Homo-oligomer: A and B are copies of this chain.
Amino acid sequence: MTQTLTQQIDALASGVNSSSELAASALEQAARHAEINAFVALDPDHVMRQAAAADERRRRGRAMSPIDGVPIAIKDNYLTEDYPTTACSGALPLERQGQDATIVANLRKAGAVIFAKTNMHEWAYGATNSTSSFGATRNPCNPGRITGGSSGGSGAAVAAGIVAAALGSDTGGSIRIPSSACGVYGFKPSYGRASRHGVLPLSWSLDAPGPITAALDDIIHLMPFICGDDRNDPATFHSPAFGQIGLVDRPRLINLVGEGLERSDDVDAGVLSALRRSGADVAHRGLDRMSAYFAAWEAILHCEASSYHAELLARNPSGFTALTRAHLEAGTRISGVELLKAQRIRGQLTRQLNGLGDRDALVLPTLPVVAPRIGDDWQSFGGRQVTTQDSMTWFCWLGNLAGLPCISIPCGRSPEGLPIGMMLMGRHGQDEHLLAVARWMDRRINADA
Protein backbone atom coordinates (compact mmCIF):
# COMPACT_ATOMS: atom_id res chain seq x y z
CA MET A 1 0.00 0.00 0.00
CA THR A 2 2.66 2.58 -1.02
CA GLN A 3 0.72 5.80 -1.31
CA THR A 4 1.18 9.51 -1.50
CA LEU A 5 -0.22 11.74 1.21
CA THR A 6 -2.86 12.95 -1.24
CA GLN A 7 -3.92 9.35 -1.83
CA GLN A 8 -4.04 8.70 1.90
CA ILE A 9 -6.12 11.83 2.47
CA ASP A 10 -8.53 10.73 -0.25
CA ALA A 11 -8.67 7.15 1.03
CA LEU A 12 -9.53 8.36 4.53
CA ALA A 13 -12.10 10.87 3.29
CA SER A 14 -13.85 8.29 1.08
CA GLY A 15 -13.63 5.52 3.65
CA VAL A 16 -11.54 3.29 1.36
CA ASN A 17 -8.98 3.05 4.17
CA SER A 18 -9.16 3.66 7.88
CA SER A 19 -6.36 5.32 9.77
CA SER A 20 -5.80 2.00 11.53
CA GLU A 21 -5.24 0.36 8.15
CA LEU A 22 -2.77 3.05 7.11
CA ALA A 23 -0.97 2.77 10.43
CA ALA A 24 -0.83 -1.03 10.35
CA SER A 25 0.52 -0.93 6.81
CA ALA A 26 3.15 1.63 7.80
CA LEU A 27 4.22 -0.54 10.75
CA GLU A 28 4.45 -3.55 8.47
CA GLN A 29 6.58 -1.62 5.97
CA ALA A 30 8.77 -0.31 8.78
CA ALA A 31 9.42 -3.87 9.95
CA ARG A 32 10.13 -5.03 6.41
CA HIS A 33 12.63 -2.18 5.89
CA ALA A 34 14.30 -2.41 9.29
CA GLU A 35 17.73 -2.61 7.63
CA ILE A 36 17.54 1.02 6.43
CA ASN A 37 17.53 2.10 10.09
CA ALA A 38 15.15 4.97 9.49
CA PHE A 39 13.62 5.11 12.96
CA VAL A 40 15.08 5.68 16.40
CA ALA A 41 11.83 5.66 18.40
CA LEU A 42 8.74 3.82 17.26
CA ASP A 43 6.01 2.45 19.54
CA PRO A 44 3.53 0.33 17.53
CA ASP A 45 0.92 0.35 20.32
CA HIS A 46 1.10 4.12 20.58
CA VAL A 47 0.75 4.40 16.81
CA MET A 48 -2.28 2.11 16.71
CA ARG A 49 -3.93 3.99 19.59
CA GLN A 50 -3.54 7.30 17.78
CA ALA A 51 -4.95 5.74 14.60
CA ALA A 52 -7.92 4.25 16.47
CA ALA A 53 -8.70 7.65 17.97
CA ALA A 54 -8.56 9.19 14.48
CA ASP A 55 -10.93 6.53 13.16
CA GLU A 56 -13.27 7.21 16.04
CA ARG A 57 -13.28 10.93 15.18
CA ARG A 58 -14.07 10.19 11.54
CA ARG A 59 -16.82 7.83 12.57
CA ARG A 60 -18.41 10.67 14.49
CA GLY A 61 -17.93 13.10 11.62
CA ARG A 62 -15.40 15.03 13.66
CA ALA A 63 -12.20 14.72 11.67
CA MET A 64 -9.98 17.61 12.75
CA SER A 65 -8.50 18.27 9.32
CA PRO A 66 -7.94 16.49 5.99
CA ILE A 67 -4.78 14.92 7.43
CA ASP A 68 -6.56 13.53 10.50
CA GLY A 69 -5.37 9.93 10.79
CA VAL A 70 -2.39 10.15 8.43
CA PRO A 71 0.89 8.75 9.84
CA ILE A 72 3.74 11.27 9.78
CA ALA A 73 7.31 10.63 10.94
CA ILE A 74 9.28 13.27 12.83
CA LYS A 75 13.01 13.96 12.71
CA ASP A 76 14.59 13.32 16.08
CA ASN A 77 15.51 16.96 16.65
CA TYR A 78 11.85 18.02 16.96
CA LEU A 79 10.59 17.91 20.54
CA THR A 80 7.68 15.52 20.90
CA GLU A 81 5.56 15.10 24.00
CA ASP A 82 5.28 11.33 23.50
CA TYR A 83 8.60 10.16 22.06
CA PRO A 84 11.98 11.10 23.56
CA THR A 85 14.16 13.54 21.63
CA THR A 86 17.87 12.85 21.29
CA ALA A 87 19.07 14.51 18.06
CA CYS A 88 20.78 11.09 17.69
CA SER A 89 23.43 12.26 20.10
CA GLY A 90 24.73 10.46 23.16
CA ALA A 91 24.48 13.78 25.02
CA LEU A 92 20.67 13.66 25.01
CA PRO A 93 17.89 13.21 26.08
CA LEU A 94 18.14 15.83 28.79
CA GLU A 95 15.44 17.43 30.85
CA ARG A 96 13.56 19.14 28.02
CA GLN A 97 11.07 16.44 27.10
CA GLY A 98 7.34 16.17 27.25
CA GLN A 99 6.45 19.05 24.97
CA ASP A 100 5.81 19.32 21.26
CA ALA A 101 7.64 21.58 18.84
CA THR A 102 5.19 24.10 17.39
CA ILE A 103 4.95 22.23 14.08
CA VAL A 104 4.45 18.86 15.80
CA ALA A 105 1.74 20.43 17.96
CA ASN A 106 0.06 21.78 14.81
CA LEU A 107 0.11 18.33 13.18
CA ARG A 108 -1.16 16.64 16.35
CA LYS A 109 -3.99 19.18 16.62
CA ALA A 110 -4.84 18.37 13.00
CA GLY A 111 -5.16 14.70 13.96
CA ALA A 112 -1.98 13.40 12.33
CA VAL A 113 -0.65 10.13 13.76
CA ILE A 114 2.80 10.95 15.14
CA PHE A 115 4.36 7.75 13.85
CA ALA A 116 7.99 7.70 14.93
CA LYS A 117 11.17 9.69 15.43
CA THR A 118 13.57 9.39 12.52
CA ASN A 119 17.29 8.81 12.47
CA MET A 120 19.50 11.79 11.73
CA HIS A 121 23.09 12.97 11.57
CA GLU A 122 24.15 13.70 15.17
CA TRP A 123 22.80 17.14 16.08
CA ALA A 124 22.16 17.72 12.36
CA TYR A 125 25.84 18.67 12.27
CA GLY A 126 26.73 16.79 9.09
CA ALA A 127 25.10 15.74 5.84
CA THR A 128 25.85 12.04 5.43
CA ASN A 129 23.69 10.48 8.19
CA SER A 130 26.62 8.15 8.84
CA THR A 131 27.24 9.67 12.29
CA SER A 132 24.38 8.89 14.67
CA SER A 133 24.16 7.37 18.13
CA PHE A 134 21.68 4.91 16.56
CA GLY A 135 23.96 3.96 13.66
CA ALA A 136 23.92 5.06 10.02
CA THR A 137 20.85 5.03 7.76
CA ARG A 138 20.86 3.09 4.48
CA ASN A 139 19.39 4.28 1.21
CA PRO A 140 16.20 2.35 0.27
CA CYS A 141 17.16 2.70 -3.42
CA ASN A 142 20.39 0.80 -2.75
CA PRO A 143 21.37 -0.26 0.76
CA GLY A 144 25.06 0.08 -0.11
CA ARG A 145 24.54 3.84 -0.44
CA ILE A 146 24.11 6.60 2.13
CA THR A 147 20.85 8.50 2.41
CA GLY A 148 22.59 11.81 2.89
CA GLY A 149 21.45 13.90 5.81
CA SER A 150 20.92 15.23 8.21
CA SER A 151 17.24 14.27 7.77
CA GLY A 152 18.30 10.89 6.38
CA GLY A 153 15.83 8.83 8.40
CA SER A 154 12.94 10.98 7.20
CA GLY A 155 14.10 10.70 3.59
CA ALA A 156 14.54 6.92 3.87
CA ALA A 157 11.17 6.41 5.58
CA VAL A 158 9.36 8.21 2.77
CA ALA A 159 11.44 6.65 -0.02
CA ALA A 160 10.81 3.16 1.38
CA GLY A 161 7.08 3.82 1.29
CA ILE A 162 6.67 3.51 5.06
CA VAL A 163 5.11 6.94 5.46
CA ALA A 164 4.09 9.44 2.79
CA ALA A 165 5.40 12.39 4.77
CA ALA A 166 8.05 13.14 7.36
CA LEU A 167 9.45 16.27 8.94
CA GLY A 168 13.04 17.34 8.46
CA SER A 169 15.15 20.41 9.17
CA ASP A 170 17.60 22.15 6.90
CA THR A 171 20.67 24.28 7.73
CA GLY A 172 22.73 23.58 4.63
CA GLY A 173 20.51 21.17 2.73
CA SER A 174 19.46 18.63 5.35
CA ILE A 175 15.92 18.31 3.98
CA ARG A 176 16.85 18.47 0.29
CA ILE A 177 19.93 16.23 0.39
CA PRO A 178 18.24 12.99 1.51
CA SER A 179 15.21 13.85 -0.62
CA SER A 180 17.44 13.96 -3.67
CA ALA A 181 19.60 10.98 -2.73
CA CYS A 182 16.54 8.82 -2.01
CA GLY A 183 14.38 10.07 -4.90
CA VAL A 184 11.60 11.89 -3.04
CA TYR A 185 10.41 15.49 -2.55
CA GLY A 186 11.82 17.90 0.04
CA PHE A 187 10.94 21.51 0.73
CA LYS A 188 12.85 24.06 2.80
CA PRO A 189 10.59 27.09 3.39
CA SER A 190 11.88 30.67 3.43
CA TYR A 191 13.69 31.53 6.63
CA GLY A 192 11.07 32.76 9.07
CA ARG A 193 7.99 31.19 7.52
CA ALA A 194 8.11 27.97 9.57
CA SER A 195 8.53 28.02 13.33
CA ARG A 196 11.80 26.71 14.72
CA HIS A 197 10.30 26.57 18.22
CA GLY A 198 11.02 23.17 19.72
CA VAL A 199 13.37 22.12 16.93
CA LEU A 200 16.83 21.73 18.50
CA PRO A 201 18.96 24.38 16.78
CA LEU A 202 22.05 23.79 14.73
CA SER A 203 22.48 27.37 13.51
CA TRP A 204 19.52 29.55 14.31
CA SER A 205 19.97 32.05 11.48
CA LEU A 206 20.21 29.27 8.88
CA ASP A 207 17.81 26.60 10.23
CA ALA A 208 14.47 25.96 8.54
CA PRO A 209 12.08 23.09 9.31
CA GLY A 210 10.10 21.53 6.47
CA PRO A 211 8.59 18.37 4.98
CA ILE A 212 9.90 15.41 2.99
CA THR A 213 7.14 13.70 1.00
CA ALA A 214 6.31 11.09 -1.62
CA ALA A 215 4.82 13.63 -4.06
CA LEU A 216 4.77 17.34 -4.71
CA ASP A 217 1.14 17.92 -3.78
CA ASP A 218 1.86 16.26 -0.44
CA ILE A 219 4.02 19.27 0.44
CA ILE A 220 1.18 21.59 -0.45
CA HIS A 221 -1.19 19.64 1.81
CA LEU A 222 1.22 19.94 4.74
CA MET A 223 2.41 23.54 4.49
CA PRO A 224 -0.63 25.13 6.20
CA PHE A 225 0.36 23.18 9.34
CA ILE A 226 4.02 24.14 9.03
CA CYS A 227 4.01 27.85 8.15
CA GLY A 228 2.78 30.89 10.02
CA ASP A 229 3.36 33.36 12.81
CA ASP A 230 4.42 31.65 16.06
CA ARG A 231 4.77 33.77 19.19
CA ASN A 232 7.57 31.44 20.31
CA ASP A 233 9.78 32.09 17.27
CA PRO A 234 10.64 35.76 16.66
CA ALA A 235 11.78 34.97 13.11
CA THR A 236 8.16 34.15 12.20
CA PHE A 237 6.66 37.36 13.58
CA HIS A 238 4.35 38.90 10.95
CA SER A 239 4.81 35.81 8.77
CA PRO A 240 1.62 35.23 6.78
CA ALA A 241 -0.38 32.03 6.90
CA PHE A 242 0.35 29.72 3.99
CA GLY A 243 -1.55 30.85 0.91
CA GLN A 244 -3.11 29.17 -2.09
CA ILE A 245 -0.90 27.62 -4.76
CA GLY A 246 -1.94 29.23 -8.03
CA LEU A 247 -1.42 28.15 -11.61
CA VAL A 248 1.56 29.54 -13.47
CA ASP A 249 2.47 29.95 -17.11
CA ARG A 250 5.68 28.56 -18.58
CA PRO A 251 8.20 29.64 -15.97
CA ARG A 252 11.42 31.53 -16.62
CA LEU A 253 14.32 29.78 -14.91
CA ILE A 254 17.96 30.69 -14.40
CA ASN A 255 20.20 27.62 -14.37
CA LEU A 256 23.28 28.40 -12.25
CA VAL A 257 26.58 27.10 -13.65
CA GLY A 258 30.29 27.82 -13.52
CA GLU A 259 33.17 28.05 -11.06
CA GLY A 260 32.25 26.50 -7.71
CA LEU A 261 29.06 25.03 -9.14
CA GLU A 262 30.57 21.92 -10.75
CA ARG A 263 28.63 18.65 -10.89
CA SER A 264 29.18 15.14 -12.24
CA ASP A 265 28.39 14.42 -15.87
CA ASP A 266 25.57 12.03 -14.94
CA VAL A 267 23.87 14.58 -12.73
CA ASP A 268 24.37 17.36 -15.27
CA ALA A 269 22.90 15.28 -18.05
CA GLY A 270 19.93 14.28 -15.88
CA VAL A 271 19.07 17.84 -14.90
CA LEU A 272 19.55 19.29 -18.40
CA SER A 273 17.41 16.54 -19.89
CA ALA A 274 14.68 17.21 -17.36
CA LEU A 275 14.84 20.95 -18.02
CA ARG A 276 14.43 20.24 -21.75
CA ARG A 277 11.53 17.85 -21.14
CA SER A 278 9.80 20.43 -18.97
CA GLY A 279 9.69 23.05 -21.73
CA ALA A 280 10.55 25.84 -19.27
CA ASP A 281 12.34 28.99 -20.46
CA VAL A 282 15.90 28.44 -19.21
CA ALA A 283 18.80 30.93 -19.16
CA HIS A 284 22.25 29.99 -17.86
CA ARG A 285 24.19 32.24 -15.49
CA GLY A 286 27.27 32.12 -13.28
CA LEU A 287 27.59 33.26 -9.70
CA ASP A 288 30.63 35.28 -8.52
CA ARG A 289 32.43 34.84 -5.24
CA MET A 290 31.25 31.30 -4.50
CA SER A 291 34.20 30.60 -2.21
CA ALA A 292 33.62 33.77 -0.14
CA TYR A 293 29.94 32.89 0.20
CA PHE A 294 30.75 29.34 1.24
CA ALA A 295 33.25 30.57 3.84
CA ALA A 296 30.56 32.92 5.19
CA TRP A 297 28.04 30.07 5.47
CA GLU A 298 30.60 27.91 7.29
CA ALA A 299 31.60 30.70 9.70
CA ILE A 300 27.98 31.47 10.63
CA LEU A 301 27.14 27.77 10.95
CA HIS A 302 30.13 26.89 13.14
CA CYS A 303 29.87 29.99 15.29
CA GLU A 304 26.16 29.63 15.99
CA ALA A 305 26.47 25.88 16.59
CA SER A 306 29.34 26.40 19.03
CA SER A 307 27.42 29.13 20.78
CA TYR A 308 24.33 26.96 21.18
CA HIS A 309 26.24 23.88 22.36
CA ALA A 310 28.80 25.62 24.58
CA GLU A 311 27.08 24.73 27.83
CA LEU A 312 26.23 21.12 26.97
CA LEU A 313 29.70 20.53 25.55
CA ALA A 314 31.27 21.79 28.79
CA ARG A 315 28.92 19.62 30.87
CA ASN A 316 29.02 16.44 28.81
CA PRO A 317 31.87 16.41 26.26
CA SER A 318 31.79 12.63 25.89
CA GLY A 319 28.15 12.84 24.79
CA PHE A 320 29.36 14.11 21.42
CA THR A 321 31.22 12.08 18.83
CA ALA A 322 34.81 13.15 18.26
CA LEU A 323 33.93 14.67 14.87
CA THR A 324 31.07 16.79 16.18
CA ARG A 325 33.20 17.82 19.15
CA ALA A 326 35.95 18.91 16.75
CA HIS A 327 33.43 21.00 14.76
CA LEU A 328 32.19 22.62 17.95
CA GLU A 329 35.67 23.41 19.17
CA ALA A 330 36.63 24.85 15.78
CA GLY A 331 33.63 27.14 15.99
CA THR A 332 34.93 28.74 19.18
CA ARG A 333 38.08 29.86 17.36
CA ILE A 334 36.21 32.09 14.88
CA SER A 335 36.52 35.74 15.90
CA GLY A 336 33.66 38.18 16.20
CA VAL A 337 35.20 40.26 13.43
CA GLU A 338 35.23 37.21 11.13
CA LEU A 339 31.61 36.48 12.02
CA LEU A 340 30.57 40.05 11.23
CA LYS A 341 32.38 39.83 7.91
CA ALA A 342 30.46 36.63 7.18
CA GLN A 343 27.21 38.38 8.02
CA ARG A 344 28.05 41.21 5.62
CA ILE A 345 28.97 38.76 2.85
CA ARG A 346 25.65 37.07 3.48
CA GLY A 347 23.95 40.35 2.58
CA GLN A 348 26.03 40.56 -0.59
CA LEU A 349 24.84 37.10 -1.70
CA THR A 350 21.24 38.17 -1.25
CA ARG A 351 21.88 41.26 -3.37
CA GLN A 352 23.72 39.26 -6.05
CA LEU A 353 20.89 36.73 -6.30
CA ASN A 354 18.27 39.50 -6.42
CA GLY A 355 20.22 41.16 -9.22
CA LEU A 356 20.46 38.05 -11.41
CA GLY A 357 17.49 39.13 -13.50
CA ASP A 358 13.80 38.47 -13.65
CA ARG A 359 12.88 34.84 -13.21
CA ASP A 360 10.50 32.52 -11.43
CA ALA A 361 13.21 30.36 -9.89
CA LEU A 362 16.91 29.55 -9.88
CA VAL A 363 17.87 25.99 -10.82
CA LEU A 364 20.69 23.76 -9.62
CA PRO A 365 21.09 20.04 -9.18
CA THR A 366 20.30 19.30 -5.53
CA LEU A 367 23.50 17.26 -5.32
CA PRO A 368 26.55 17.19 -7.63
CA VAL A 369 26.64 13.38 -7.40
CA VAL A 370 24.22 10.52 -6.86
CA ALA A 371 24.05 8.90 -3.41
CA PRO A 372 27.64 7.97 -2.46
CA ARG A 373 28.69 4.50 -1.39
CA ILE A 374 28.75 3.89 2.35
CA GLY A 375 32.35 4.29 3.47
CA ASP A 376 33.49 6.51 0.59
CA ASP A 377 35.03 9.62 2.10
CA TRP A 378 35.73 11.41 -1.19
CA GLN A 379 33.78 12.26 -4.32
CA SER A 380 35.19 13.23 -7.72
CA PHE A 381 33.21 15.42 -10.09
CA GLY A 382 33.79 18.31 -12.48
CA GLY A 383 37.56 18.04 -12.04
CA ARG A 384 37.32 18.31 -8.27
CA GLN A 385 38.06 16.02 -5.34
CA VAL A 386 35.63 16.87 -2.57
CA THR A 387 34.87 15.20 0.76
CA THR A 388 31.60 13.31 0.76
CA GLN A 389 30.38 15.70 3.48
CA ASP A 390 31.10 18.80 1.34
CA SER A 391 29.69 17.16 -1.77
CA MET A 392 26.35 16.75 0.02
CA THR A 393 26.00 20.46 0.89
CA TRP A 394 27.74 21.54 -2.37
CA PHE A 395 24.83 23.61 -3.74
CA CYS A 396 22.27 23.50 -0.95
CA TRP A 397 23.84 25.91 1.55
CA LEU A 398 23.26 28.81 -0.88
CA GLY A 399 19.54 28.64 -0.09
CA ASN A 400 20.19 28.78 3.66
CA LEU A 401 22.66 31.64 3.48
CA ALA A 402 20.19 33.67 1.43
CA GLY A 403 17.15 32.41 3.41
CA LEU A 404 15.33 31.40 0.22
CA PRO A 405 12.59 28.81 -0.24
CA CYS A 406 14.07 25.74 -1.98
CA ILE A 407 12.60 22.52 -3.22
CA SER A 408 14.20 19.30 -4.41
CA ILE A 409 12.18 17.24 -6.88
CA PRO A 410 13.24 13.96 -8.50
CA CYS A 411 14.24 14.40 -12.15
CA GLY A 412 15.27 10.98 -13.37
CA ARG A 413 17.87 8.34 -12.63
CA SER A 414 21.56 7.95 -13.32
CA PRO A 415 22.78 5.16 -15.66
CA GLU A 416 23.32 3.00 -12.55
CA GLY A 417 19.70 3.63 -11.53
CA LEU A 418 20.18 6.06 -8.66
CA PRO A 419 17.91 9.11 -8.21
CA ILE A 420 18.90 12.57 -9.43
CA GLY A 421 17.27 15.62 -7.85
CA MET A 422 16.62 19.09 -9.26
CA MET A 423 16.62 22.05 -6.91
CA LEU A 424 14.49 25.13 -7.52
CA MET A 425 15.11 28.25 -5.41
CA GLY A 426 12.50 31.00 -5.20
CA ARG A 427 12.44 34.50 -3.77
CA HIS A 428 12.31 35.10 -0.05
CA GLY A 429 8.77 34.83 1.27
CA GLN A 430 7.38 33.67 -2.09
CA ASP A 431 7.13 30.02 -1.06
CA GLU A 432 3.72 29.62 -2.67
CA HIS A 433 4.97 30.82 -6.05
CA LEU A 434 7.95 28.47 -5.88
CA LEU A 435 5.65 25.53 -5.19
CA ALA A 436 3.44 26.55 -8.11
CA VAL A 437 6.49 26.62 -10.38
CA ALA A 438 7.71 23.29 -8.99
CA ARG A 439 4.31 21.73 -9.65
CA TRP A 440 4.39 22.99 -13.24
CA MET A 441 7.83 21.45 -13.67
CA ASP A 442 7.05 18.21 -11.85
CA ARG A 443 3.99 17.46 -13.98
CA ARG A 444 6.11 17.71 -17.10
CA ILE A 445 9.28 16.03 -15.84
CA ASN A 446 7.68 13.19 -13.90
CA ALA A 447 4.52 12.66 -15.95
CA ASP A 448 5.37 9.02 -16.53
CA ALA A 449 6.86 8.36 -13.10
Chain A interface (Cβ within 8 Å of chain B)?
Answer: 234, 299, 303-304, 306-307, 310, 331-341, 347
CB pairs A–B below 8 angstroms (10 shown): A299-B336, A303-B340, A306-B336, A306-B337, A307-B337, A310-B337, A332-B337, A334-B336, A334-B337, A336-B336
Find chain B residues with CB under 8 A from A307 CB.
336-337, 340-341
CA A299 to CA B303, docked complex, whole Å:
16
Find chain B residues with CB under 8 A from A336 CB.
299, 303, 306-307, 331, 334-336, 338-339
Residue of B nearest to A340 (CB): B307
Q: Lowest 7 A-B CB distances belong to which pairs?
A: A336-B339, A303-B336, A334-B336, A307-B340, A307-B337, A306-B337, A336-B336
CA A307 to CA B342, docked complex, whole Å:
11
Find chain B residues with CB under 8 A from A306 CB.
336-337
Find chain B residues with CB under 8 A from A340 CB.
303-304, 307, 339
Find chain B residues with CB under 8 A from A304 CB.
340
Residue of B nearest to A332 (CB): B337
CA A347 to CA B234, docked complex, whole Å:
10
- Shortest distance from the beta carbon of A317 to any chain B beta carbon, whole Å: 16
Find chain B residues with CB under 8 A from A310 CB.
337
Find chain B residues with CB under 8 A from A335 CB.
332-336
CA A234 to CA B334, docked complex, whole Å:
26
- Shortest distance from the beta carbon of A56 to any chain B beta carbon, whole Å: 43
- Shortest distance from the beta carbon of A361 to any chain B beta carbon, whole Å: 24
Given A303-B337, A304-B340, A307-B336, 16 more pairs with CB closer than 8 A? A234-B347, A299-B336, A303-B336, A306-B336, A306-B337, A307-B337, A331-B337, A332-B335, A332-B337, A333-B335, A334-B335, A336-B336, A336-B338, A336-B339, A339-B339, A339-B340
- Shortest distance from the beta carbon of A296 to any chain B beta carbon, whole Å: 12
Residue of B nearest to A310 (CB): B337
Residue of B nearest to A331 (CB): B337
CA A338 to CA B307, docked complex, whole Å:
8
Find chain B residues with CB under 8 A from A303 CB.
336-337, 340
- Shortest distance from the beta carbon of A234 to any chain B beta carbon, whole Å: 8
Of A304, A310, A333, A337, the most chain B CB neighbours within 10 A belong to A337
Find chain B residues with CB under 8 A from A347 CB.
234
- Shortest distance from the beta carbon of A237 to any chain B beta carbon, whole Å: 12
- Shortest distance from the beta carbon of A428 to any chain B beta carbon, whole Å: 13
Residue of B nearest to A309 (CB): B337
Find chain B residues with CB under 8 A from A234 CB.
347
- Shortest distance from the beta carbon of A42 to any chain B beta carbon, whole Å: 36
CA A341 to CA B304, docked complex, whole Å:
9
- Shortest distance from the beta carbon of A63 to any chain B beta carbon, whole Å: 39
- Shortest distance from the beta carbon of A69 to any chain B beta carbon, whole Å: 40
- Shortest distance from the beta carbon of A314 to any chain B beta carbon, whole Å: 12
- Shortest distance from the beta carbon of A235 to any chain B beta carbon, whole Å: 12
CA A245 to CA B332, docked complex, whole Å:
48
- Shortest distance from the beta carbon of A201 to any chain B beta carbon, whole Å: 11
Residue of B nearest to A308 (CB): B340
Find chain B residues with CB under 8 A from A331 CB.
336-337
Residue of B nearest to A304 (CB): B340
Of A234, A332, A336, the most chain B CB neighbours within 10 A belong to A336
Of A304, A307, A340, the most chain B CB neighbours within 10 A belong to A340
Residue of B nearest to A334 (CB): B336
CA A21 to CA B304, docked complex, whole Å:
59
CA A363 to CA B340, docked complex, whole Å:
33
